[in-house]
Amino acid sequence: MGSDLNITNELQEYILNHGHSLHPIQKEIINYNNSLGDIKRMQISISQCQFLDLIIKITNIKKILEIGTFTGLSTLSMSLAIPDDGKIIALDKNEETNKIAINFFKKAKQDQKIITLIKPALESLAEIKEKFELIFIDADKGNYKQYYEKSLSLLETRGLIIIDNVLWYGEVAAENSQDKITKTIKDFNEFVSNDNRVEKIIIPLGDGMTICRKL
């Protein structure tokens, strides 16, 4: 059986340099986040930006729900891929980072497509009634299962749920890990793996993404 290629730092750089070019404001967000220290790891990777752009365009997605916005890199990556009449509802409880994200959206002239809701995501999810073609989950890991279940109820048939950080820096492969977040993500991954309501695959982009297609 064939195996996946071991991606070195040099090969990763080569891949990024030969893929979809980033928008100037995407680059500006990345540079800003890199100035924040360890918290920068909350942003998605460049390869994930490229992946989101392409999968949205391939599937002609127009309506997106995002759970977890941070400073807006993933939001902007998706907004740039949808048409002018597309729509993203972005959920985050942090008012400070949300203001930063909105400024980036305005600079990229994408703010007309993006609605931000600032409160705990589970509260917003309880109030949302419309359906979406894509839901992107990248928020507090302890609530992943609740976000996933609510997302399924808000997702169109054959719609996609994409969940970030499912490999948790490779720690999910450690059999005896006692880290609370690692155990939470491992339990979540097991739950999704056994869920016959979706087709699913884990891809090793960034910190790992699970792609689910609702049946």
Residue 208 is assigned to a structural domain of this protein: yes
The amino acid at 100: I
CA–CA separation, 79 vs 85, rounded Å?
Answer: 10
3-state secondary structure of 67: strand
3-state secondary structure of 161: strand
Residue 57 is assigned to a structural domain of this protein: yes
pLDDT band at 1 (very low <50, low <70, confident <90, very high): low
Residue 3 is assigned to a structural domain of this protein: no
Model confidence pLDDT, tens digit, residues 47-100: 999 999 999 999 999 999 999 999 999 999 999 999 999 999 999 999 999 999
Model confidence pLDDT, tens digit, residues 156-185: 999 999 999 999 999 999 988 889 999 999
Residue 61 is assigned to a structural domain of this protein: yes
Number of domains in the chain: 1
CATH of the domain at 172: 3.40.50.150
CA distances from 205 to 162, 174, 195 (A): 12, 19, 22
Residue 64 is assigned to a structural domain of this protein: yes
Q: Give just the sign of the alpha carbon dihedral 93, 71, 38, 176.
A: positive
Model confidence pLDDT, tens digit, residues 12-31: 889 888 988 999 999 999 99
- pTM for this entry: 0.95
CA–CA separation, 114 vs 123, rounded Å?
Answer: 19
Residue 199 is assigned to a structural domain of this protein: yes
Residue 94 is assigned to a structural domain of this protein: yes
Residue 1 is assigned to a structural domain of this protein: no
Model confidence pLDDT, tens digit, residues 95-133: 999 999 999 999 999 999 999 999 999 999 999 999 999
CA distances from 93 to 72, 80, 120, 138, 170 (A): 13, 23, 5, 13, 28
Domain that holds residue 28: 9-214
pLDDT at residue number 180: 94
